[in-house]
Structure 1
Amino acid sequence: MPPRRPSLFTGRAKSRNASPSNRNSIQKRRLGEDEPAAHTLRACERRGSIREGREGEREMDAFYSASSAYGAAASGWGYDSLKNFRQISPAVQSHLKLVYLTLCVALAASAVGAYLHIALNIGGMLTMLGCVGSIAWLFAVPVYEERKRFGLLLTAALLEGTSIGPLIKVAVDFDPSILVTAFVGTAIAFGCFTCAAIVAKRREYLYLGGLLSSGLSILLWLQLAASIFGHGTSSFMFEVYFGLLIFLGYMVYDTQEIIERAHHGDMDYIKHALTLFTDFVAVLVRILVVMLKNASDKSEEKKRKKRS
């Protein structure tokens, strides 16, 4: 007969019948045998908690990145959007550089024309007609004759400067700081509206063309009515502010139109620079008129206070 194996009950009975010292040794053995399993369980629990923590951090990061991306997409503005010129091809970017460089040269020529009027008093109706004739001649010359067209642009800018020379002379005689402030304000407004048009989506502001054209026609009709029936100070200032609003809108519209035309192959940087030059001068003249009016009103109030 094979020997019988001790059953669990016999082992338990033996452990019960064993002495206290033997019982302690048995318990220590069992604890020693269970310690590796306990360490393994603890390690697994720690790994699981670490994994859960990492997964939670990843989920939170994904949530915050998605929410920030959604907020930027909803608002349309952000630091990344200011650096994003992917919608503008490199060819169009180089074209815009030429346009703004030509614009700066035209503004310098206009400043020379204003100085010539202050020194020689040559500005007036003849210079205005000469400016219009130069612009018409520029549009009649073919695009490939760049030197001739560039010279006509500088001529038109020079004559434009002499035409607005009387207003600039009044500002210089009254307070030279007004002229500097008006020019800086116009440059800041031009830069801000131009950047807004460049950073915005393509064709986003082109819908303003109809509204601006309607506003410009209203302005022309108001000026025609004022020349026939006369106008007071309030109507004149309304025309000035209304025209300022219109030409600020044209800064945005013309910039996006230039970009869109360049995307379609129209790289006539001289004509585009002339368009922006017209907007810049129109805004500068109106800001200068507003500042001169405010300065004259303040000086009159001071004189009244001194008399009283």
Structure 2
Amino acid sequence: MDAFTSQFDSRNRWNYDTLKNFRQISPVVQNHLKQVYFSLCCAVIAAAVGAYFHVLWNIGGFLTTVGCVGSMIWLLSTSPHEEQKRVSLLMLSSLFEGASIGPLIDMAIQIDPSLIFSALVATSLVFACFSGAALVAKRREYLYLGGLVSSGLSVLLWLHFASSIFGGSIALFKFELYFGLLVFAGYIIVDTQEIVEKAHFGDLDYVKHALTLFTDLAAIFVRILIIMMKNSGERTEKKKKRRD
């Protein structure tokens, strides 16, 4: 909230010039952010193609997950000077990620095809709001959240590990779902500000930065889609009970 209210002038009116300033973000960093977000859009399109391939040929699963992780590791271990290769690896990892999410999307299509579009719109709004808040806020203002979201992620990992061994309840599943959504929304803010700070210090690796934001975006999309599918299923069950 402070990130937006700080943009008002002494009369509490929106100052558009201040918004365009992006809190003293230099033109070099602004151009870098344009490259990052453009690459991110291309990665999302590649993921959509991967999901479509799964719907057509049922290719999503363990192998595509391994391929996604492997291509990400390959990308991160490749020299930044090999720009075309790294962009290709980003698109490949996004394609594999989309195929890995494909079974969930296929399930959503069977329940209600409109859920996919709704989840995509909701994910875009969440990303735009939180990433925009990080850009408009003062530099390094939200970097302190890095420790909190990292702790939240470790809690999620331990809960998932415990539930896989001892079994989980519906209440625990709901907690993991909504808490995970909150954690990755926080990661969008932290990662966006980290990208800005790294760019100010000369790290203009837009491919790696786009990959970072893509992983956040994919995690949020999956959780929002599951929530919508769950709510849709509950509404359907209630309608059936009323008819009976």
Q: What one-letter code is carried by the residue in structure 2 that aligns with 1:164? A: I
Asked if 1:289 corresponds to 2:231, the answer is: no
In structure 1, the residue matched to 2:199 is 262
CA distance in 2, matches of 1:78, 1:305: 53
Q: Which residue of 2 aligns with 1:211?
A: 148
Secondary structure, in 3 states, of the residue corresponding to 1:142?
A: coil
Q: Distance in 1 between matches of 2:73 and 2:199?
A: 22
- Equivalent residue letter for 2:199: A
- Indicate which of 50, 54, 59 corresponds to 1:113: 50
Summarize the alignment of residues 43-122 of structure 1 with structure 2, pairs less than 5 Å apart: 69-70=9-10, 72=12, 78-85=15-22, 87-122=24-59
Distance 1:86 1:275 in 2: 22
The aligned counterpart of 1:221 is 158
Quote how far apart the aligned CAs of 1:203 are. 0.3
Tell me which of 153, 168, 171 is aligned to 2:108: 171
Query: How far is 1:189 from its partner?
Result: 1.1
Distance across 2 between alignment mates of 1:237 and 1:80: 43
Q: Paired residue for 1:15? A: none
CA distance in 1, matches of 2:114, 2:83: 37
1:129 corresponding residue in structure 2: 66
Give the total of aligned pairs: 237
- Alignment of 1:271 with 2:231, yes or no, is no
Whole-angstrom distance in 2 between the partners of 1:136 and 1:191: 27
CA 1:267 to 1:235, structure 2 compared with 1: closer, same or farther past 3 Å?
A: same
- Kindly indicate whether the alpha-carbon contact (under 8 Å) linking 2:68 and 2:97 is maintained by their aligned counterparts in 1: yes
> Alpha-carbon deviation of 1:234?
1.3
State the alpha-carbon separation in 2 of the partners of residues 190 and 306 from structure 1. 40
Task: Using the TM superposition, give the Cα deviation of residue 89 of structure 1 relative to its aligned residue in structure 2, in angstroms.
Answer: 0.3
Give the AA of the match of 2:85: K
Asked if the contact 2:64–2:99 (Cα under 8 Å) also holds between the matched residues in 1, the reply is yes
2:76 to 114, 118, 139: 139
- Asked if residue 190 in structure 1 is aligned to residue 127 in structure 2, the reply is yes
- Report the Cα offset of residue 173 of structure 1: 1.3
TM-score with structure 2 setting the length: 0.94
Distance 1:151 1:84 in 2: 33
**Structure 1 residue 71 displacement after superposition:** 5.7
Question: Which runs of 5 or more structure 1 residues have no equivalent in the other structure?
Answer: 1-67
Give the aligned CA root-mean-square deviation in angstroms. 1.4
One-letter amino acid of the counterpart of residue 298, structure 1 = R
d(CA) in 1 for partners of 2:141, 2:123: 23
Please give the TM-score of this superposition, normalised by the length of structure 1: 0.75
- Measured against aligned partners, the alpha-carbon deviations of 1:157-194 in whole angstroms (never above 9, x if no partner) come to 00000000000011111111111001001001111111
Residues 191-243 of structure 1: per-residue CA shift (max 9 Å, x gap): 11111111110000000000011000000000000100010111111100000
Q: Which amino acid aligns with 2:29?
A: V
Give the CA deviation at 1:69.
Answer: 3.9
Give the whole-Å Cα distance in 2 for the aligned partners of 1:71 and 1:166: 52
CA contact (8 A) 2:50 2:102 kept: yes
> Can you give the 5+ residue segments of structure 2 that lack an aligned partner in the other structure?
1-7
Aligned-residue identity in percent: 59
